[in-house]
Structure 1
Amino acid sequence: MPISTDMAEDVAAAVSTLYEQAELALIEKVTTALAQGFDSPLWAELKLAAVGNLRTAIEEIIAVLQVDAAGAIHTAVAEAYERGQQAAVAELGALAVGQAAAAATALPTASVVDRLAAALVQETGATHLRILRAGLDVYRQVVAEASAAPLLGVQTRRQAASRALAKFSARGVTGFVDKSGRAWNLTSYTEMATRSAVGRAAVQAHTDRLAAAGVDLVVVSDSPEECERCRPWEGKVLRREGPAGAGTVEVEHATEDDRMVRVRVAGSLDEARGAGLMHPNCRHRLSAYLPGLTRPAGPKADRSRATYEQSQQQRYLERQVRRWKREAAGAIDDDKKAAANAKVRAYQSRIRDLVAETGLSRKSRREQLARAR
């Protein structure tokens, strides 16, 4: 069975859900803390005096998240690695007994899984301090803006607080920048990081099994909705490991001893991945390339009429649905909540139109918010 980075997308969702739950819990804690005692003339003084209580509440959210996330990450990486191994075993199962048996031989995987999981725990763990700071910062900001509003005669204290909370709920916990300089909020960042990690685990497990079977070449599928980074590698044969650069190699036929076959190789797998192949949203799959047996890819699957740009437009609309759902969850008055829910329906309508136009499949899970614990 060919391998792709989306093979373990469902197990990655379990991790990102925990962070979304934490983000929603944070919004609810801050909103509830600020909404209490709005009519008191001492509201600002009482709120500032209660900062310590809010800090404790947020630290409790983070403590639970640290424990739950570490376990979920290890489980997700282990499951992704196992799926990658099984995909290789299934793919080579129809070959000669020797190669199939070699692929099925148990490999020591614990250290590999532990290493991949530890790297992801460290990456996502760095977000925890930001959760605390974001919660306390927005709390103090709301108190300051709401206290100043009546003095300026512009709006009431409740309106000022509602506006500041709406901004926070819409953007969530922010301040995370990836290696390319792109900014993310907490949930999107952890989703990206986790999907990337479990995708790497599945691909590594697949290639580890191919190595055990003595398979040195892989071929990239010709897939729909490809992006510009991946397109140059479609249908190309790659070295599983070894030097970068294209060239022609002479290798033994997959099933006929002493028969040599010349194969045009586009480069190494590491080279292709470094150029963008197998990124988190990549649709391409890797298969074992069997000299003398593997045939060129056939016509591209007509799974949808969509382009890569349209698939990314769908992801943008999904993020907007979640954004306005967060804002509705953090609203402290009915008008704000109703307006946010209207935005949710508007973006969902745009998703329905896009799906109907392009043939993309609608993934309702990506429009949902996890329940805050």
Structure 2
Amino acid sequence: MKYLFILGRNIELSKAEVFSYFEKLGNRILKYELEKNGLFLDLENPIKENEIDFLGGVISIGKVIASGTEEELLKNIDKEELYFGTENKLNYTIWNFSKSLEVIRDYLKERFKKEKLKATLKHLTREIKLQEGKRANVPSSKLINEEYFIFGNKELYFGKIFQTCNYEIIEERDMNKPVRRASLAISPRLAKIMINLSKVKEDEILLDPFCGIGTILSEALLQKIKVMGIDKDEKAIIGAKQNLEWSKFDKKDYQLINSNSTKTQIDYVYAIATEPDLGEILKKIPTKNKAKETLQKFEDLIVNVLNNFREKISGRVVFTSPNIRIGKKRIHPEIEKILKKTDYKLIYELPEFRENQIVGRMIYVLER
């Protein structure tokens, strides 16, 4: 089954998430291609109708309905129904990941004209700035009935978007919870990404040793993953309890512990996904020495925590670290030192920051 995943602003992070997600599901990727922020996947099995709800770094998912050379593609599209609406007025857009955009644009214009549809092509006029500095276009209008895509150059793939992330519902859920810590809390989007990078499955237990008010815990519970949250801040644990109760999660599926994760003794869990303390919130760029001091504290903390839980974790460890701007460069922990002291192997090292952010994140995925 062939699909297009339109990735968010951090392409490498989103790609790693998608790969890890389908690995844990056992849905083998037979082939993939990446063009700008479009990730084409040929999967062994079909995906669920609500698959996008489980992914944090994906904007939309499209299904391929026709493929081939330009000539073959147009013949194959002719066999497919493109519009299922009841009105004869249609606003549509085309996501372009190919040099054959003009051919598809002309084809759709003629096709809709023959079908006596008042069809208007809406261009992708809104821009998002990608992690590496480039820009990608996304729809700016909500008044779009159909979204199509064209992908590839030698072998062309045409299809329709059939799943789109509902950011409004995610934001509403996040903003309405009883306890919030805007400056400290991780976003639901990044929480989902980290959970998927951990490859933890439904009914397995995920540990967050710095759980705060429970954002990662909540996102995992929504995926029917059991969780254990630890935090030495009693107020944070009380806040996490309120948030999980507000979401009406089954109490047997989560455990909250007010304790220090460098010393806490726990039963076996599958994986870790966590955001430890990234240091103080900075309003101006720190000196190199100050930044190195923050990173050393972080390295000591994460080494102690990983060694404390080492014999209780069977799967991956996913954590964020400070990625601190000093001048025009950024510095982050020396991961080789952490690996040597904990006997883990590095799977991914992925930056996640905005251009003017002083303390961004580096995301690490480790395995034994």
RCO higher in structure (CA 8 A, sep ≥6):
1
TM-score with structure 1 setting the length? 0.26
Higher helix share: 1
Normalised to the residue count of structure 2, the TM-score between the two structures is 0.26
Structure with greater strand percent = 2
